[in-house]
Structure 1
Amino acid sequence: MKKAKRLMVFVLAFLVVVGLGACGQKADTTASSSSTTASTTAAVKATVIIQEDGKESDKQEVALAKDTSLFDAMSENFDIKDDNGFITSIDGKEQDKAANKYWTFTINDEQVNVGAKDVTVADGDKIIFNLAGF
């Protein structure tokens, strides 16, 4: 009788351990699927180059979520100030109205004439911000 009770306790303990192990595996699977979702969300990579008068001062490869605006991308990776979506300062380098110097930007060598809030970053974009006089 004692052997039967010990066997029963052993079997129950075994089932509990196996059951907990299965729960742990399921939790790990859920965690890996969440990280997979996060990695597909951050599927856009772009290069941002900061210049002053055409001379490069900073260059960063940025990873972003799909459909991120250029303004949000810049906010996440640089210290910026803006005026209604038009960037007026990047990392402390400000536009100078007296010297007629303003921030402009190109995407893939194409001049962009709207604010950074109105542009969505695409995978592989090369974005150049240039502080220059006119």
Structure 2
Amino acid sequence: MFKKIFKFLLVIFSVGVISGCSNSSAATQTKSSTNKITVVYQLKNNKKTFATKKVKLAKHSTVLKGLKKAWPVQQKKGFVTQIDHRSQKPKQSKYWLYTVNGKQVNKGAASQKLTNHDKVVFDLQVAK
């Protein structure tokens, strides 16, 4: 009789330990996913798309951080001068301009913060 009670208690204890562990890992997974955002980056040359990437970043990341994660980038004073080995051409007034969610941004990529599901488009185009 004592062996049956002992086995029963052992099974109950084991189930409790296993379910306790699984709940904490689920909570940890949910917490870590809420600290990340997903941003879509698109590169264009004169409005023609040549590359697109989806990038996972920490919350409150900047446009420049995500861009650097996706492609080789050169920048000066927070402004992008080269992406994926394609450089601006100041003599032709061709510069990397970018939009976030379809809206032109008038500050450097190092300053512009992102939120989840933003779409960033960099276009190497003639500045007007």
The TM-score bracket by the shorter chain reads: 0.7 to 0.9
In structure 1, distance between residues paired with 2:121 and 2:84:
14
Is the aligned partner of 1:48 residue 2:41? Answer: yes
Aligned equivalent of 1:81, options 54, 74, 85: 74
* Cα displacement (A) at 1:99: 4.7
Paired residue type of 1:11 = I
Q: Is the 8 A contact 2:40 2:118 kept in 1?
A: yes
The superposition leaves residues 64-88 of structure 1 with CA deviations (integer Å, 9 ceiling, x where unpaired) of 4432211122223333222232222
In structure 2, distance between residues paired with 1:86 and 1:127:
15
In structure 1, distance between residues paired with 2:76 and 2:7:
66
Q: Is the 8 A contact 2:73 2:80 kept in 1?
A: yes
After the TM superposition, which of the residue ranges 72-81 and 27-36 deviates more from structure 2? 72-81
* Cα displacement (A) at 1:28: 0.4
Structure 1 unmatched runs, 5+:
1-6
In structure 1, distance between residues paired with 2:52 and 2:31:
28
In structure 2, distance between residues paired with 1:84 and 1:41:
28
In structure 1, distance between residues paired with 2:40 and 2:100:
10
1:109 paired residue number: 102
After the TM superposition, which of the residue ranges 23-32 and 91-100 deviates more from structure 2? 91-100
SS of the aligned residue for 2:110 comes to helix
Paired residue type of 1:12 = F
TM-score in terms of structure 1 length: 0.75
Identity of aligned residues (%): 24
Q: How is 1:18-97 mapped onto 2 (pairs within 5 angstroms)?
A: 18-42=12-36, 44-97=37-90
Task: Please say which structure displays the higher CA radius of gyration.
Answer: 1
Residue-pair matches, total: 127
SS of the aligned residue for 1:118 comes to coil
In structure 2, distance between residues paired with 1:77 and 1:85:
17
In structure 2, distance between residues paired with 1:29 and 1:109:
41
